[in-house]
A and B are shown apart, each in its own frame.
Chain A
Amino acid sequence: MRFFRKMAALAAALMLMLTTTANADASRTFFAMDTVMAVSVPDAGEALLSACEDEARRLEALFSVTQPDSEIARLNTDGTVRLSGETETVLTCALEVADLTGGALDVTLYPVVRAWGFTTGDYRVPDDGELSALMERVGWEQVVIVDGAARVPQGVMVDLGAVAKGYASDRLAALLREGGVSSALIDLGGNIYCVGAKQNGRPWRIGIRDPKETADYVGALSVTDRAVVTSGSYERYFTAEDGTVYGHIFDPATGRPAASGILSVTVVGECGLLCDALSTALYVMGVDRACALLGARADVDAILVGDDGALWVTEGLRGAFEPMGPYRQATIHWIGEE
């Protein structure tokens, strides 16, 4: 009898080993919000991964500027729309960050970005006349939210592209936690959310892409339960006939691609939505204004890569950020250092 018990125990151990391995990298890759999304959850069932995919598509249907039935598309065509609680949350956060950053994030830039061809791939440089006419339609202060309804003047268009993925990462993380998941990695096109720590209890190790050599890394970031969002113009850009390179992050003050001296901004925090909004805004603000804002906040950390190769890193990431390659020799300015 004892013999059979031992046999059964060993067989069970063997089975457990094999099933654990089979589930070890349960993941789902799908397209939504104009990017590739991947959710990796150790030991997750298909149902939970499907729920994540459905959730991303549900949010896309709310926020999309191109799906005609979305709340944002209806706001842009009708000038007013009743907002769901979620769209109101996202739009309100975007407007608060616009206010906080002196308009460095502006959700009404869409007509300008579209004229440059970044929404279609049909790139061109608008002339000054066209640009100044389009800039008449830009200004986040023109978006009004009253009693759950949003309103914009005719011609003003809202695009939540700079914040939607951040909110989606928060929602997917919440969905997984509600499903009992304590360890997962959400990658929404380089917009990362780490749920908990790795299964072995160690922090997640996130590579920060080098904006100059995109196959390399600025460094590694060790984080637990944090969103890690990077903005840079190195992926979406075009080269005009005169050789000038134009990136996809725009300065709302000029209606032209931002040239602030920053090549990339990585923001780390508990709220993916806030990190996403700030990463775009800080990129536009430039080093001095970005450092002033970051030095006054305790809820986010950041890494700025300057066009001279120098790094600006908040004190909160000391010990968590490890520069790599040529950045080991880079000057690191610590933000918030006494």
Chain B
Amino acid sequence: MMKRPLFNRLPLIALTAVLLALCAGAALLMRRDAAPRSIARIAVDGETWREIDLSAVADETSFDIETPGGWNTVTVRRGAICVSAADCPDQICVRQGWLEGGLVPIVCLPHRLVISLVSGGEEEAFDAVSG
């Protein structure tokens, strides 16, 4: 069987190159998505209420969240988030203080509020935290 001349195979080579480039691009995008960021996800009763890029917070600022169970005041600063006040009876969420890294979320059980870091340094170290 005669080998086909190179110019007959050029479209195939070109298209393969384009597809490979697409794959590489997609992989790069995914890698960028997986890179450590500091995104805080605020969820009420399992539903995401808001996501905040903590690395983009310029000045410390506070806002209120009204949940069916009561209110929480959330304060953010660059790289960190906390519940600064709440009308829940146990105040566990307020006592937890600033969340700056790690997998342990801020939880207000009475208000079914969970603030977790979607991606951060510790995620690479642990799959979960017991305690």
Contacts and interface: CB of A to CB of B under 8 A. Distances in A.
B107 A17 contact: no
Interface in B99-131: 100-105, 107, 109-110, 112, 114, 122, 125-131
B92 A235 contact: yes
Nearest to B15: A7
Contacts of A217: 126, 129
Contacts of B97: 215
Interface stretch (B20-28, B49-57, B58-66, B71-79): B20-28
Given A192-B130, A206-B129, A14 B92 contact: no
Interface stretch (A29-37, A63-71, A143-151): A29-37
Given A13-B23, A121-B89, A121-B110, A204 B128 contact: yes
Contacts of B131: 190, 208-209, 211, 214, 230, 232, 234-235, 264, 266
A18 interface: yes
A36 B109 contact: yes
15 contacts: A6-B16, A10-B20, A14-B19, A14-B23, A31-B109, A185-B127, A192-B129, A207-B102, A207-B126, A208-B130, A209-B131, A215-B97, A217-B126, A230-B131, A266-B131
Nearest to B30: A21
A187 to B, nearest CB: 5
A192 B128 contact: yes
B102 A11 contact: no
Nearest to B19: A10
A120 interface: yes
A220 interface: yes
A121 B91 CA distance: 9
B6 interface: no
Given A31-B112, A232-B131, A220 B125 contact: yes
Given A31-B45, A36-B114, A206 B12 contact: no
B88 A121 contact: yes
Contact of B89 (A122, A207, A229): A122
Interface of B: 11-12, 15-16, 19-20, 22-23, 26-27, 30, 43, 45-46, 88-90, 92, 96-97, 100-105, 107, 109-110, 112, 114, 122, 125-131
A186 to B, nearest CB: 9
Contact of B130 (A21, A191, A198): A191
B23 A204 contact: no
A14 B89 CA distance: 52
A313 B104 CA distance: 23
Contacts of A191: 130
A185 B129 contact: no
A236 to B, nearest CB: 7
Contacts of A35: 109
A205 B105 CA distance: 18
A220 B26 CA distance: 33
